[in-house]
Structure 1
């Protein structure tokens, strides 16, 4: 294991640069995946302002089927280190925003691996990979740090501690969650991770009780709700982290309130009363 850790550390500092675009068609697919009764439809014409976090769909990985792992993700060992863990998850991230990205414009993303850290969790060893991304367009820029966690698949699902929902929120909206929404978001983001659409795989292989709702989708819905309730202000910074898996057997609650600094403390939650993803939104 020590020799393997040495190899993993060789990935620190590795970079890649990719070209992308959130086309009108991709923007329409995202709108169809994220839309709900409380959210107005965004403008989707070429040159329209790109809703924050939609840039995540602008750089699909066109990996041949032969290069996918059994979980549907691209196999490790290219840009990301070849870690010997079967489960991988987007655990959280931190973003800063400048200017405005736009639908249909050419984008460039430069990524760099900042850290590869092994830790001991409640269910065993895990490795956190921290990746920096800088996405630039004509007059917009997004700086981001992404936390990806890798761990073994357990013999049975043991949920983390359930955190109660905040009291007296400024808003508490409900978004219907079903297989169609998960499929649409997976399609729009070109995400083949099977836990989001393959129920037998999610249950029998990764030991989840149901289909898992995408963390980035939860974050994007929280961002939209937060900005809407803040009166259309622009984002300056956003951070989020998953605290409990969300499953497709319950609707999603979008909850938020202002803190003393004027930022919005946000979370997704379940109708049964616990948090799934926590976020903080700072405004311009």
Structure 2
């Protein structure tokens, strides 16, 4: 019996059967949707963006191009689509996007038809300070009409909901960053980003649910939104979008405090260490941007 088979799961007898499962979807970031994304992530220091058809699709915005049009009856209590179609239905009530890594080949365009092929690479059980968890790693390839494409890895973590919120260990903010910028986080911003990405996960907009069911102290600031803001700062401070980008959530960030965007460019100019930080000085997300 493999370690995966022996791990406690309610509805999945053999999680390894899901490894190699594929899914193909078609999508598009329309000018209207690009405008919604721009309004959701913009702040006073943001770069001007051309959201018209044919304009360059800002990096990471393809995340909004493949909404899941799931009927309300097929949403779970948390607002996520029910598991069991593409992702395995593991016996955990909390599911989050934990980390990711992307490589960009060329530039996608606003309004072009996109094709995404997804493959489940691995299902890995782990135990940590917060208890048992399972990481599901998914590989995506997103292709445009003119040959540009994105290679992406997503790490999704399944967790149990605790009786009380116990924050993870705090990691200190970047030391001597080249920039440290503050972005206001409000309920309206979280709602706009949820709407632009068609994300109904209630921890981002339903305060009673976030506090009473998932035991968070406040609404949770989206991880993908943090990553998009860090990507934009990397481009703004170098003038060139990164070729590769990776990120990892290390501590939940909440709507009752602002978000600090930090970055430090390596002496060779080829890599930049990035992070989102709280006013108190600990990190919510770490990231790295790379240029060839």
**Which runs of no fewer than 5 residues in structure 1 stay unpaired?**
none
RMSD: 1.1
Q: Aligned residue for 1:123?
A: 130
Kindly report which structure 2 residues correspond to 1:105-124, keeping only aligned pairs within 5 A, or say none. Answer: 105-124=112-131
Which of 1, 6, 31 in structure 2 is aligned with 1:2?
Answer: 6
Asked whether the equivalents of residues 234 and 242 of structure 2 are also in contact (C-alpha less than 8 Å), the reply is no
1:155-195, Cα deviation, whole Å (9 max, x unpaired): 00000111111121111111000000000000000000000
Which residue of structure 2 lines up, in the alignment, with residue 213 of structure 1?
221
Q: Which residue is 1:72 aligned to?
A: 79
- Structure 1 counterpart of 2:173: 165
Q: Which residue does 1:52 correspond to in 2?
A: 59
Report the alpha carbon displacement of residue 62 of structure 1 after superposing the two structures with TM: 0.2
> Who is 1:19 aligned against?
26
2:211 and 2:217 in contact (8 A); partners too:
yes
Measure the CA separation in 2 of the matches of 1:195 and 1:172: 27
Structure 1 residue 40: deviation in Å?
2.3
- Report deviation, 1:236: 1.0
Paired positions, count = 283
1:168-183 pair list within 5 angstroms: 168-183=176-191
CA distances 1:190-238 after superposition (whole Å, capped 9, x unpaired): 00000000000000000000000000000000000011101x2132110
Alignment deviations for residues 10-35 of structure 1 (CA, whole Å, 9 cap, x no partner) = 11000000000000010000000000
* 2:249 counterpart of 1:242: yes
With the length of structure 1 as denominator, give the TM-score of the two structures.
0.97
**Is the partner of 2:73 in helix, strand or coil?**
helix
TM-score in terms of structure 2 length:
0.95
Provide the rounded CA distance (Å) in 2 between the counterparts of 1:83 and 1:103. Answer: 36
Task: State how far apart, in whole Å, the 1-side matches of 2:249 and 2:267 are.
Answer: 23
Q: Give 2:234's match in structure 1, choosing from 219, 226, 229.
A: 226
Counterpart in 1 of 2:276? 268
In the alignment, structure 1 residue 87 sits paired with structure 2 residue 94: yes
* Equivalent residue for 1:40, pick from 47, 68, 93: 47
Q: Which residue of 1 aligns with 2:37?
A: 30
- Aligned structure 1 segments of 4 or more residues deviating by more than 6 angstroms: none
